[in-house]
Amino acid sequence: DAKTTQPNSMESNEEEPVHLPCNHSTISGTDYIHWYRQLPSQGPEYVIHGLTSNVNNRMASLAIAEDRKSSTLILHRATLRDAAVYYCILRDGNSGGSNYKLTFGKGTLLTVNP
């Protein structure tokens, strides 16, 4: 499984944008970049994913470097509810359909200050 590297922790202020970086220098051409987050005492939840182009959804934006060796998850206006551990995960696009494993690293613990 291709590895990702994330900062252990980051801090942000409420209502400010947050940029969470992820390095994945050994990414292969078929690997998708997925982001999940885990709120305290809850299961992980999907945030966003992408392959080559930048992506936006209601939760966040994903900016992918042109060489795909790094990506950044962008929360446009952090709220207290966004305090969580954020995981950047590479998923093999060749794995079969809906059956694939997610390999979680340590993630980034995001603290949001009021």
Partner 1 sequence: DTAVSQTPKYLVTQMGNDKSIKCEQNLGHDTMYWYKQDSKKFLKIMFSYNNKELIINETVPNRFSPKSPDKAHLNLHINSLELGDSAVYFCASSQVYEQFFGPGTRLTVL
**Chain residues that interact with partner 1, rule: CB under 8 A:** 32, 34, 36, 38, 41-46, 49, 85, 87, 97-104, 106
Give DSSP secondary structure letters for 7-71: -SEEEEETTS-EEEEEE-TT--TTEEEEEEEE-TTS--EEEEEESSS-EE-SS-EEEE-TTSSEE
Shortest Cβ distance from residue 85 to partner 1 (Å)? 7
Shortest gap between Cβ of 15 and partner 1 (angstroms)?
A: 28
> Which CB sits closer to partner 1, 24 or 34?
34
Cβ closest to partner 1, residue 39 vs residue 80: 39
